[in-house]
Structure 1
Amino acid sequence: MAADAAEAVEMRGALVRLRRATGLPVAFGGLVDPGRRHVRISELSGTATAALSALAVSSGNGLGGKAVALARPCAVTDYSTSRQISHEYDVAVATEGLCSVLAVPVVVRRRVRGVLYGALRTAQPLGDRTLGAAVAAARDVEQALVVRDEARDLLAVARKQEPSVTDGAWEEVREAHGALRAMAPRIADPALRDELLAVCGRLADAAAPSSAEREAGLAAREVGLAPRELDVLACVATGATNAVAAQRLGLRPETVKGYLRAAMRKLGAHTRLEAVVAARRAGLLP
């Protein structure tokens, strides 16, 4: 099975950023096919032919295969004559007219998940600045894959979770809820992001307030918290400081403080703890 659409979008964006940062006329790449030992070239940027499209690059073969095998960046000044690599893919490379080529592996949790390539149509050295930009683009893809992997793991746990009334079980639910809320804004795939937020809603509904609490004016959806205000409260509910919440959510600590103040005002709370308790009674947090 090929990489899914969202991962293809991440790869495509990384190639555009690579070309923009380096001035390289050609960039291409792909991810490892699940269950196989090769990278499938799925994304092309600046190419003149389809020679590289869908090319399967095996570990150890060619420049990209060498980068996969060594799990580190590799580069050659003249691909067709280089003695540093094997030449299984010379025809495709020559058809596209490439000479100087670099390959940077995408490594997630010590496993190579893909390769980014950048290339020139002339034989000249690719300097440290160009290599650094390629590595930065690969890191972007790595971070995106890490977020998606974590999101899927949390979703799997949340789907199976059947909360009991014990404090320990509820703490696990609250930790999962906070992690999912923090992760959702970083997900590029709208379908996965919506599913994350839907799971958050189910976790919150599992702790829905009693009828007496609803009658007390704390009914869930009447509070009107903004999504980011709820994200901050979900972090605070797990014991996170403003600084930790900012790091998890990709915000500045001052911004987190502002969202927290707004949430406290809407909930009629004077402290962080009161805000969390009020949000739970309102059915907004588990």
Structure 2
Amino acid sequence: MRQAALTAAQSSSLTMLLHDVRRVAGVDLTVGTLMAADTDHFVIDRLVGVTTEGLRNLRVAVGAGLGGKAMLLAKPVQVQDYCHAGGITHDYDAAVRREQIRAAFAVPVRVPQGPRGVIWGALRHEHVFGDRVIGDVMTVVRALERDLAEDLALNRRLEYLRAAAGGTRGDGRAAGDPVASVAERRRLVGICSELVHIASTTDGHQRQQIDALVRRLTDEALGDAARVGLTAREREVIGEVAHGATNQEIAAKLGIGAETVKSSLTSSMRKLGVSNRAALVAAALCQETRCAACAPHSGGTCR
């Protein structure tokens, strides 16, 4: 079995979710886990409100017990009294009794082509959870699913950037291979501007990853931008724009006036045929892509 490798942000989100579910459902305890999409077991590794260690690291099969049934059916399920309930297997009754669990519900967490998991809520007395409670829990879980989906989309964009920045493709070929690299870089042109924006709004390790990868890509692109007549100063200013600097910050760093920065950007945009800062960075990447594409047919010189 391969348990999902959670980032620090995902781990924090899952723990916060358990606290939210406990609050909105009014239950004594909540537990949960996320796992890789291609596994048939999962391990309970997040617990809130427990009084024993009976549920910690419990290995549950998809289809078994309450959580396994929720995962198999892809919908919430509940029992009024766990150890005496019909319709579920009782492989885990010993751990459930140790925690004195009676009423419980389980809600699956599903993300297309990504991790999946289960969230449980439980009371230490018999109870039937109403549709309103289950609906409130589902609302909270759906928010986590959206966060995970967005995180996966961002990670896919980072993988594209890693490939174009000289890493290794998923199929094992070097990203620097001209045939593969040109195709990948053409796809990257459309998302480079978006990533520059994401980097300005993202905190922590992902911000650092995006900044570093965009820097490597744009530095490489700007080396070819001279072929369209950009001056050294214009390339330098575009490089700072790619890293998210404002005109004032660029002026201070380069020791020039803010009006000089503005004039340089205006000139660069005119030469590259774009009208805004994000497009300027993407245009530099696009120019680099065209140069890479025509180099095999022109002895390394753009026509």
> Normalising to structure 2: TM-score of the pair?
0.68
Residue matched to 1:204: 218
Provide the rounded CA distance (Å) in 1 between the counterparts of 2:279 and 2:182: 18
Q: CA deviation at 1:25?
A: 2.1
- Are the equivalent residues in 1 in contact too, given 2:76–2:107 (CA < 8 A)? yes
Q: Describe the shift of the 1:104–1:228 C-alpha distance in structure 2 as closer, same or farther (beyond 3 A).
A: farther
The reply on whether 1:160 has 2:163 as its aligned counterpart is: yes
How many angstroms apart in 2 are the aligned matches of 1:9 and 1:203? 31
Alignment of 1:55 onto 2:58 = yes
2:192 is matched with which residue: 159, 172, 177?
177
- Where does 1:194-273 land on structure 2 (aligned, <5 Å)? 194-208=208-222, 209-210=225-226, 212-216=230-234, 219-220=237-238, 273=274
**Aligned match of 2:71:** 68
AA partner of residue 52 (structure 2): T
**Do the aligned partners of residues 110 and 214 (structure 1) sit closer, same or farther apart at CA in structure 2, a change above 3 Å counting?**
closer
Q: In angstroms, what is the RMSD of aligned CA positions?
A: 4.0
* Alpha-carbon separation, structure 2, partners of 1:31 and 1:220: 42
| Cα shift at 1:266 | 11
Structure 1 residue 128 corresponds to structure 2 residue 131: yes
Aligned counterpart for 1:115 among listed residues 109, 114, 118: 118
Partner of 2:89: 86
Q: In structure 2, which of residues 14, 18, 21 is the aligned counterpart of residue 18 of structure 1?
A: 21
- Residue 80 (structure 1) shift: 1.1
Q: Structure 1 regions of 5+ residues with no counterpart? A: 230-263
CA distance in 2, matches of 1:36, 1:137: 24
After TM superposition, the structure 1 stretch with the greater mean CA deviation from structure 2, 70-79 or 142-151, is 142-151
The one-letter code matched in structure 2 to 1:66 is K
1:33 and 1:278 mapped to 2: Cα distance? 37
Which residue in 2 is equivalent to 1:4? 5
2:278 and 2:207 mapped to 1: Cα distance?
Answer: 26
Contact residue 108 and residue 116 of structure 2 kept, 8 A: yes
SS of residue in 2 equivalent to 1:87? coil
Distance in 2, matches of 1:177 and 1:23, equals: 45
Deviates more, 1:92-101 or 1:272-281: 272-281
Q: Which amino acid aligns with 1:45?
A: V
> Partner amino acid for 1:72?
K
CA offset at residue 96 of structure 1?
A: 0.8
TM-score, reference length from structure 1: 0.71
Indicate if the aligned counterparts of 1:39 and 1:56 stay in contact, CA closer than 8 A.
yes
Equivalent of residue 205 in structure 2, options 191, 215, 228: 191
Superposed displacement of residue 200, structure 1: 2.1
**Percent same amino acid at aligned positions?**
28
Evaluate the alpha carbon distance shift between residue 126 and residue 212 of structure 1 in structure 2; reply closer, same or farther with a 3 A threshold.
same
- How far residue 283 of structure 1 moved from its aligned partner, in angstroms, is 7.0
Number of positions where the alignment pairs a residue of Structure 1 with one of Structure 2: 252
